[in-house]
Amino acid sequence: MKFKGCDLTFFTLEVNLLFRGHCMTNSRYKKFIFTLAVLPFVLIGCAQSDSDTVHDAQYCLDKATSSTALTCYSKVNGISTAAASLVRCASILVYEGFGSASKLQSALTGLQGGGSPLSTASAQFAFLADGGSGTAQASDISRASDASTQCAASGSTGLTMLATFASIATVTSSLNSGTITVGTIHSSAGTIVSSVPNSPQLIQTAYQQNCSGNISSSNQSFCTQYQAAQAANPGASSATIATYFLTNLN
């Protein structure tokens, strides 16, 4: 029997065997079994397991729109698994300009379609105010940073890449009145690195997740340019490498 996410049949069987193993008297044993029998009627509630909660959040996300996506995010608050991080990652991306989970998938497919990573870090990936127009605000930058962190924790290579470049585009928008070009990203590189928490590590994570082993053609440009930044700054900090990478991104 299921009750608020708990399997009472299994619970009864487990305790039944446990107490029989402790040699209860027949009368005490019967009394205990009776107690278990009425337990479903007096039990007020039972918390869902983390996996059940994540499953509910994933179902929420399947139906989400930009106006409801953050509800799915809140469903997995306090759960620190890769699956929960994936829900949080996708919830933010859907909320910030990707109107549905299917549109998010389309954007991800486009991101992996090849060409310069800069071309994919264009205005369509920036987290913008006013429903996807105007200049990015502080709250947009905060959510972009959170998306990068959650996507990296989820282990999804494609979403990590998307969220990382969304952060780059969002900060560039905020610094340049909404203008996102090669030049504005180059001139904003130092501020991007300093204003987005852990951005050097997030760019490095995107590199590590997407540029090891057999590198796909869709990631080749990003991988080559980050490797060039490392080669130009041997032994340097991740912040120095990230700044060089963004300053020379093409």
Kindly state whether residues 63 and 143 are assigned to the same domain: yes
Those residues whose C-beta lies under 8 Å from the C-beta of residue 6, and which sit 6 or more positions away, are 46
Return the SS3 of 2: strand
Average pLDDT along the chain: 74
Alpha helix (H) ranges present in 21-137?
A: 26-42, 50-62, 69-75, 82-95, 101-111, 117-120, 129-132
Nearest of 214, 126, 209 to residue 171 by alpha carbon = 126
Kindly state whether residues 17 and 60 are assigned to the same domain: no
Kindly state whether residues 84 and 202 are assigned to the same domain: yes
Does residue 16 carry a pLDDT above 70?
no
Kindly state whether residues 26 and 89 are assigned to the same domain: no
Token representation of residue 147: 């998306």
Number of domains in the chain: 2
Kindly state whether residues 35 and 142 are assigned to the same domain: no
Does residue 80 carry a pLDDT above 50?
yes
Contact by Cβ (8 Å): 46, 5: yes
Kindly state whether residues 177 and 84 are assigned to the same domain: yes
Kindly state whether residues 22 and 139 are assigned to the same domain: no
Kindly state whether residues 22 and 144 are assigned to the same domain: no
Kindly state whether residues 153 and 203 are assigned to the same domain: yes
**DSSP code of residue 23:** T
Question: For residue 100, which phi and psi values (nearest 5 degrees)?
Answer: -155, 165
CB hemisphere CA count around 29 (13 angstroms): 11
pTM of the model: 0.69
Give the residue with greater pLDDT, 47 vs 73.
73
Kindly state whether residues 11 and 118 are assigned to the same domain: no
Q: Mean pLDDT highest for which of 39-53, 141-155, 159-173, 202-216?
A: 141-155
Kindly state whether residues 30 and 123 are assigned to the same domain: no
Query: Rounded mean pLDDT of 32-40?
Result: 37
Give the range of the structural domain holding residue 114, as residue numbers without chain letter.
50-247
| Cα(48)–Cα(119) distance, integer angstroms | 44
Helices (H) and strands (E) in the chain, counts: 14, 2
Alpha carbon of 218 to those of 3, 159, 224: distances in Å?
A: 48, 14, 11
| Cα(50)–Cα(79) distance, integer angstroms | 7
Cα Rg of the chain, angstroms: 25
Those residues whose C-beta lies under 8 Å from the C-beta of residue 144, and which sit 6 or more positions away, are 96, 127, 136, 163, 166, 167, 170, 171, 196
pLDDT band at 24 (very low <50, low <70, confident <90, very high): very low
Kindly state whether residues 134 and 101 are assigned to the same domain: yes
| Cα(70)–Cα(195) distance, integer angstroms | 24
| Cα(161)–Cα(145) distance, integer angstroms | 13
pLDDT band at 134 (very low <50, low <70, confident <90, very high): low
Return the SS3 of 160: helix
For residue 195, how far is the Cα from the chain centroid?
Answer: 20
